[in-house]
Chains A and B, each alone.
Chain A
Amino acid sequence: DTAVSQTPKYLVTQMGNDKSIKCEQNLGHDTMYWYKQDSKKFLKIMFSYNNKELIINETVPNRFSPKSPDKAHLNLHINSLELGDSAVYFCASSPLAGAYEQYFGPGTRLTVT
């Protein structure tokens, strides 16, 4: 029944490793997002996909690469992890691109040691 799900919920890894976070929504929405919440609790948009097409790509290191195999899935792959990548990553979806209500996943807490 979960509307927006993310895996894993927790991820602890060492610097230099490559890791992926997966997101799936069963709401039939066209648009999906990745947000990063830092230690000060600010949420910042990273990427947005509309029907598998990238529409928002904020100033994010190119070590971060989103992939949308279909409009229900948006995965985030991170290469060469750094300490500063430690944060909570949230996936969200909305019916369409634009000013629509967004539905959030539970978040993935990434800790880089």
Chain B
Amino acid sequence: KQEVTQIPAALSVPEGENLVLNCSFTDSAIYNLQWFRQDPGKGLTSLLLIQSSQREQTSGRLNASLDKSSGRSTLYIAASQPGDSATYLCAVTLDSNYQLIWGAGTKLIIKP
């Protein structure tokens, strides 16, 4: 059974710092991995999608990496800003039935 874990559960850093969020999954039979952002009272916004054959994806100040064999992904945020404060969720798409299995998220606070 696929399980997705995100560590840490919460993170608070000063503005301007580079930071890394971690996601691990127990079964490497995934189709892709996605990182989402969740803002309070709003829906989830897809940030990056990495196919299982890819190693990384970049969008602006965000870079996501995927190491399928070790069951890990990281989301790197460069030069963090207060507007980056949100909960970041990772989800893997199962190879077998294309369902998304979610982590519980990392709540990120960027202090001005």
A40 partner, pick from B31, B99, B104, beta carbons under 8 A: B104
- In-complex Cβ contact of B43 among A41, A101, A106 (8 A): A106
A107 to B34, CA, bound (A): 19
Give Cα distance in the complex from A6 to B44, angstroms.
13
Tally inter-chain residue pairs, CB-CB below 8 A.
44
Contact of A41 among B46, B49, B105 (CB under 8 A): B105
Does A45 sit within 8 A of B, measured CB to CB? Answer: yes
Q: What count of chain B residues pass the 8 Å CB interface test?
A: 23
Tell me how many residues of A have a C-beta within 8 Å of chain B. 21
CB 8 Å contact bits of A70-109 with B (1 = contact, 0 = none) = 0000000000000000000010100001110111111100
A90 to B39, CA, bound (A): 13
Neighbouring A residues of B91 by C-beta, 8 Å: 43
Give the secondary structure class of A's interface: loop
The B78-112 residues at the A interface (CB cut-off 8 A) are: 87, 89, 91, 93, 97-100, 102-105
A113 to B36, CA, bound (A): 31
45-86 of chain A: CB within 8 A of chain B:
45, 56
Q: Is the CB of A101 within 8 A of B44?
A: no
A106 adjacent to B100 (CB under 8 Å): no
CB-CB < 8 A to B41: which residues of A?
9, 106-107
Known: A41-B87, A43-B89. A101 touches B46 (CB 8 A): yes
Task: Check A42/B102 contact, CB under 8 A, given A90-B44, A104-B45.
Answer: yes
Can you list 10 A-B pairs with a CB-CB distance of less than 8 A?
A: A9-B41, A41-B87, A41-B104, A42-B103, A42-B104, A90-B44, A102-B46, A103-B46, A104-B43, A104-B45
User: Which are the 9 A-B pairs with shortest beta-carbon distances?
Assistant: A104-B43, A104-B44, A43-B102, A99-B31, A99-B93, A106-B43, A41-B104, A98-B98, A99-B98
Residues of B within 8 A of A (CB): 31-32, 34, 36, 41-46, 49, 87, 89, 91, 93, 97-100, 102-105
